[in-house]
Amino acid sequence: MEYVTDLIWKPGITVKELVDNFKTIGYQSVELSKASNVIVKMKKEGAKIFLTFTSNMVTSGLRGFFAQIIKLGIADIIVTTVGGLEEDIMKAKGEKFAIGKFESDDVELHEQGINRVGNLLIKNESYMNFEDRILPILAKLYEKQKRWAVSEMLREIGLMLDDNNSILCQAAKNKIPIFCPAITDGAFGFHLYLFQQKHPDFIVDVVKDFGNILFTTSHDDKKGVIALGGSISKHHAILCTLLNGGAEYAVYMTTAHKTSGSMSGATTNEAKSWGKVKDDSDIATVNGDVTIMFPLAMMKAMEELHADGLLKNENS
């Protein structure tokens, strides 16, 4: 049995040392330390790792961190929502999002043509610029072929971007598939619809992509899931693990609570009842803000993986 240990600061303390200390502080610190260890284990054991996140995380400065994780070979399959892909393209094309306040006057912001995501601000102008940029991209896709599975389309778009901090760009470079089952749930979907009105033979095939994600793993593969937030991105990944025998490793981070009965709040233990996570799996569920929790857990894991030579392309 371990006992509570007082946290003591020292000059030059590293992320690894800090998170190692978390395991004996108590409460969510214990779960965060455990989550970091599970991430290390899933990578060391050669599991195929699903990384899922919602679009609000790409709105934040985690966007470049996700791209770096892809570059370093930690994630094998990405599942996300369409807003994050739109904003990834926006940022790759130079758009900048401002930091505001949670207590802003939202009526005033609306009158100024500014949209609020928590305490982050996005101008309507950014979405107008997105329209100007996505239409030529869709035209190039249509010229190349008429029917696209979503992940294949996203890879092609990633190859058109030139930004090392772009999720789409790094995924395309490193041949990591990105799945977005709700591709129409945003501005991108609206432009896909408008483009299809002029080109009725242009098809984005979501059902084919469900087959694609199923075949990213098999019953014989070890599977790991890092689910940040909830939503369809989390469920799409763990549904895939369910159909392929369940995941051996799972880390969930969320601000939602298990008492809601929601997918976002469902814990790694609850996933065992469905067979999405195996009975004897290594798991951790961390309740808290992903913008704080995930960098701490992942950076500690990355320090260990780096020391063991398990990160790729570190100098490229």
Q: Which residues are catalytic?
A: 276
Q: Which two tokens stand for residue 179?
A: 């799945």
Whole-angstrom distance, CA of residue 73 vs CA of residue 58? 19
Strand-pair partners of 228: 53, 253
Q: Which amino acid is at 35?
A: A
DSSP state of 114: E
d(CA 68, CA 77): 14
Cβ–Cβ < 8 Å for 137, 159: no
CA distances from 257 to 7, 32, 276, 280, 292 (A): 27, 16, 19, 23, 17
Structure token digits, residue 96: 């900048």
- 273-284 burial, b at 16+ Cβ within 10 Å, e below that, comes to eeebbbeebbbb
Distance CA 77, CA 297 (A): 19
Two tokens, residue 315: 């100098």
For residue 206, the surrounding DSSP H or E stretch is helix 206-214
Alpha-carbon gap, residue 242 to 224, rounded angstroms: 12
CA 212 – CA 258 distance, rounded (Å): 31
d(CA 316, CA 160): 19
Helix, strand, coil share (%) of the chain residues, nearest 5: 50, 15, 35
